[in-house]
Structure 1
């Protein structure tokens, strides 16, 4: 189960990176507009909270990032592993 979440987190990170690049924004700019630290957003794009640990952002933070990138949170999280 843990490996599934790590894989999924990396996929979400790639989706964030692609959305950011489509908007022509830097990681720092997205972080600033979403109200998070630049380092935190960089980790999101890597799919990590810390090395080896899948990202697990607060819902408010995730929604803020999606708003900045003009992407739907449901689309971003499509394909999430089941919890049980």
Structure 2
């Protein structure tokens, strides 16, 4: 597997942060704590905390698994389309 293209983080980072903001807003609208959302979605509280900040490992934009995103949508009672930011970045290699 090839090393990730560092240029991808330049477009993925802002998208990941926008996704985190959407998670935070949806959680606030439901009146849930981060811990409640994480527990109900089956992920750790620390992982969810980082998701709301758009982060994964230090200095790395989050890239949650589809299963985690779908669980979060169910807990937050939003569609995946409503959770994802509208402007999807171009992630094609060499683009």
SS at match of 1:48: coil
C-alpha deviation, 1:2, in angstroms: 1.7
Q: How many pairs are equivalent?
A: 84
Counterpart residue number, 2:87:
79
2:74 — aligned with what? 67
Q: 2:34 aligns with which of 27, 36, 53?
A: 27
Q: What is the SS of the residue equivalent to 1:50?
A: coil
| 3-state DSSP of counterpart to 1:82 | coil
For structure 2, the 5+ residue unaligned runs are 1-7
- Measure, in 2, the Cα distance between the counterparts of 1:52 and 1:80: 21
Is the strand fraction higher in 1 or 2?
A: 1
Which portions of structure 1, spanning 4 or more consecutive aligned residues, are displaced by more than 3 angstroms?
Answer: none
Q: Secondary structure at the match of 2:68?
A: helix
Task: Tell me, in whole angstroms, the C-alpha distance in 1 between the residues paired with 2:37 and 2:82.
Answer: 18
Larger radius of gyration: 2
Query: TM-score, with normalisation over the residues of structure 1?
Result: 0.94
Question: TM-score w.r.t. structure 2 length?
Answer: 0.83
The unaligned stretches of length 5 or more in structure 1 are: none
Higher helix share: 1
